[in-house]
């Protein structure tokens, strides 16, 4: 997947060629005139600690079967999404066009601004707090970040835990921030 991202650019619909597009209904329009300035890195696994399968896609498209796993009964009615998901093997899926507001950050605050969904792009990595991420995921993430920083006036990359402290922990202690912070030399959170 990463080789198809080299030199890639978003298309006229703010979709990334080469990414598998699976439209999520869990999005809406950004506020008028709102610039995309932030990237939020998340981690997700469904059920927790398990990788592969269609559960994440089903969650983001409101098709998660509450009877398929005990954990799903508590989350199947959530209306959430992200712009991108990077699978363990580096495969890239896009659920929301970048120009739209994905519902990934929830109650959040960055540099005194609330409602981070308004001005951010959400990238989910298939993973959890307890395990390291795969090299293929970092390579796909690095190439995706190159595309996004060419397309928008992004000034920082943060973890979900940084914009929702006490509520969220992802992407967790095993995420290697040195792999991404160099894309944002002005980012003081490195």
Q: Which residues are catalytic?
A: 124
Contacts of 188 (CB under 8 A, 6+ apart): none
Which DSSP helix (H) or strand (E) runs through 89? none
- Alpha carbon distance 75, 188 (integer Å): 35
Nearest Cα neighbor of 88 from 138, 123, 42 is 138
Question: Dihedral of the CA atoms 156, 2, 80, 182 (nearest 10)?
Answer: -10
């Amino acid at each position: 997947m990463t080789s198809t991202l080299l030199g890639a650019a978003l298309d006229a619909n703010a979709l990334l060629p080469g990414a598998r597009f699976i439209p999520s209904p869990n999005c809406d329009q950004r506020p008028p005139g709102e610039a995309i300035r932030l990237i939020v890195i998340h981690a997700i696994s469904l059920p927790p600690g398990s990788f592969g399968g269609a559960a994440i896609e089903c969650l983001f498209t409101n098709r998660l079967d509450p009877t398929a796993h005990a954990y799903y009964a508590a989350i199947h009615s959530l209306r959430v999404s992200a712009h991108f998901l990077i699978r363990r093997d580096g495969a890239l899926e896009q659920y929301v066009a970048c120009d739209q507001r994905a519902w990934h950050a929830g109650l959040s605050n960055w540099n005194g601004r609330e409602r981070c969904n308004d001005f951010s792009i959400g990238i989910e990595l298939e993973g959890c707090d307890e395990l390291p991420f795969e090299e293929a995921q970092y390579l796909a993430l690095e190439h995706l970040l190159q595309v996004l920083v060419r397309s928008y006036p992004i000034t920082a990359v943060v973890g979900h835990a940084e914009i929702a402290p006490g509520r969220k922990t992802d992407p967790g202690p095993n995420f290697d921030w040195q792999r991404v912070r160099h894309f944002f030399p002005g980012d003081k959170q490195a």
